[in-house]
Amino acid sequence: MVSSRTAAQRKTRADGERTRALILDTAVRLATIEGLDGLSIGKLAGATGVSKSGLYAHFGSKEQLQLATVETARHLFIEQVVAPALQATGLERLQALCESFLRYVERRTLPGGCFFAAAAAELGGRPGPVRELIAGNQEDWTQLLTAAAEDAISAGQLRQETDVAVLVFELNALVVAANTAFILHDNPAVIDRARAAVARVLDADAPEADR
Amino acid sequence: MVSSRTAAQRKTRADGERTRALILDTAVRLATIEGLDGLSIGKLAGATGVSKSGLYAHFGSKEQLQLATVETARHLFIEQVVAPALQATGLERLQALCESFLRYVERRTLPGGCFFAAAAAELGGRPGPVRELIAGNQEDWTQLLTAAAEDAISAGQLRQETDVAVLVFELNALVVAANTAFILHDNPAVIDRARAAVARVLDADAPEADR
């Protein structure tokens, strides 16, 4: 009897985790269209079939729901964009991170494009814990590009005088702009335009011998 | 009596126009923080002191309010960003348009940064007349940069082989990224980083003799 109750409890907990994962997956997708602020408990209940009271049981407040949604989007971004690029090092990693981001947009992973690009534009002007979490994620991404660029310089793949902050700013600007234009104009050509621009920017910092 | 009633009517109409301008000015500012979708009649009533019924009298629906807000933002953008750059031509105009945009962000013209960058990110994934109006404005901006770049090529200020679509994509990406980072991280250094990047990108397309 005890062991059967424990199994039932285990099943309940596993169900709870599955429900939570389903809710957050839906929340990430919905937020790229409706905004993180548009993530009402009501809309999410409609989209997932979970009752409003069930949603409140998982997330005590809208802010908690938003924070958990950002965490889920972070895992997705790491899995889809960052991880595939980590096999490479130096200049190749820098190229792979940009390419990986562009493919993530191109294959319409999320209906409204990159979650973080949308969230940064939406919440940039509204101080608070959600903005801080988004800003922290942006800094991690910038840091990843910076470290790869620095390795590329050490390896002699980019010239010593490279202004890493400017280079990383440029690369990030290009892939984010491709995301915005792809979603707004529904135009796949902008992804290739961004690819050409990324190559051009990296070429401008190639060591003299390679130019 | 008739003439006095006409004067009163004129006064009422002028008051109505002033109120409408005040509402739309507030709506543009509010939309850069709360989003165009966050522009509820209720919030706007609170921010302007105009009654909800008064707001409904000016704008029959939320969509009409959003469309009028985009139009107002367009006029502000033309006045603050486009007009000052039109004195120059060719390469100088291209540089002036980028610089003018960066200054517009830097002096915090709107609390949440560029209205159109925020609106494109917010509504990019939501088809409808508001998205169409925003996409049309983005195309006008791109067209302005494209025409200046083509003039610069004709004048021999940029090399003949310049891929104008890629160049314009890059310039727009850089200034929009500066806006996003400036608002999100509250970091004025990104504006100078964007200035350096704009100069670098234009330099990459300079005629051979000037490089």
B111·A125 Cβ contact <8 A: yes
Tokens of A68: 């958990």
Selected for mutation to probe chain B from A174, A186, A190, A191 (highest B CB count within 10 Å) is A174
Using a CB cutoff of 8 Å and minimum separation of 24, what contacts does B75-80 make?
B76/B28, B76/B109, B76/B110, B76/B115, B77/B104, B77/B114, B77/B115, B77/B116, B77/B137, B80/B104, B80/B109
ipTM of the complex: 0.85
Q: Per-residue pLDDT tens for B18-68?
A: 889 999 999 999 999 989 988 888 888 888 999 988 888 888 888 999 999
B173·A169 Cβ contact <8 A: no
Cβ atoms of A170 and B199 closer than 8 Å: no
Tokens of A181: 């234009």
Backbone φ/ψ region at A186: left (φ over 0), alpha (ψ -120 to 50), beta: left
Backbone φ/ψ region at B103: left (φ over 0), alpha (ψ -120 to 50), beta: alpha
The CA distance from A151 to A52, in Å, is 50
Nearest one of A14, A125, A140, A54 to B114, comparing CA atoms:
A125
- B156 part of contact set with chain A, CB < 8 Å: no
Q: Which residues of B touch A198 (CB under 8 A)?
A: none
Q: Which residues of B touch A204 (CB under 8 A)?
A: 200, 204
| pTM of the complete model | 0.88
- From first to last of its 211 residues, chain B has per-residue pLDDT tens of 445 567 777 777 778 888 899 999 999 999 999 899 888 888 888 889 999 888 888 888 889 999 999 999 999 999 999 999 999 999 999 999 999 999 999 999 999 999 999 999 888 888 999 999 999 999 999 999 999 999 999 999 999 999 999 999 999 999 999 999 999 888 899 999 999 999 999 999 999 756 5
Buried b (16+ CB within 10 A) or exposed e, A112-122: bbbbbbbbbbb
**Which amino acid, B141?**
W
Task: Write out residues 76-135 of A within 8 Å (CB-CB) of B.
Answer: 111-113, 117-118, 120-122, 124-126, 131, 134-135
The CA distance from A43 to B203, in Å, is 50
The CA distance from B25 to B29, in Å, is 7
SS3 state at A23: helix
Provide, rounded to the nearest whole percent, the portion of chain A with pLDDT above 70.
96
